[in-house]
Homo-oligomer: A and B are copies of this chain.
Amino acid sequence: MARTVSERADILPLLGEVFREHGFEGASLAHITARTGLGKGSLYHFFPGGKEEMAAAVLAEIDLWFETNVFAPLRAQEDGAAAIRDMLGRVDAYFRSGRRVCLVGVFALSEVRDRFCGQVLSYFARWREALADALRRTGRAPDTAGEDAEDAVLAIQGALVLARALDDPAVFTRTLARLERRLLGMAALHAAQQ
């Protein structure tokens, strides 16, 4: 009585959705088995540490995705402005234009933050620093780049909160557009549009 098809990596995205929707405490084993279609046997086979290990694995996967697709390009791409524009595009895609919530942000707000302290802190700190790097490459003054980066990262998180609260994903889209103007300036924006 087994399908033997599932890979641990295959179910991580599903687990992510459950944690996103219900939070850590609200994500019961019942929810998880329902969403993944896997029984407890399989679940505890892949994640002997239970819910905690599942959440940690999901966080690690998210971390890897952002490191690869967002942070690293932000640091490496020569053209800072292009790097930032790419970031905004990938962020828009990842968060489904405001219809999807940030799991790291959700965890940060509740008391489970302390359980995944390092991962939560590092995610946002690296995002901020990578963006500040790119910002400096656009010629921005080094002492303002840090605060501007922080402002952008926090605006993305806030936009996700507000978009969901108002049930209006356009809040998120508007915010990304505003961020592009604010980070790259009107001139750069116009240059990019033509």
Contacts and interface: CB of A to CB of B under 8 A. Distances in A.
A22 B111 CA distance: 5
A11 interface: no
Give the residue among A155, A157, A165, A174 with the most B Cβ atoms within 10 A. A165
Interface stretch (A49-57, A65-73, A74-82, A99-107): A99-107
Interface residues of A, number: 43
Interface class of chain A by DSSP: helix
Interface stretch (A40-48, A119-127, A130-138): A119-127
A36 interface: no
A60 to B, nearest CB: 17
A140 interface: no
Interface stretch (A2-10, A84-92, A146-154, A184-192): A146-154
A22 B110 CA distance: 6
B105 A161 contact: yes
A32 interface: no
Contact of A164 (B113, B155, B174): B113
B106 A110 contact: yes
Nearest to A151: B178
Contacts of A117: 167
A162 interface: yes
A113 B151 CA distance: 26
Contacts of A157: 157-158, 161-162
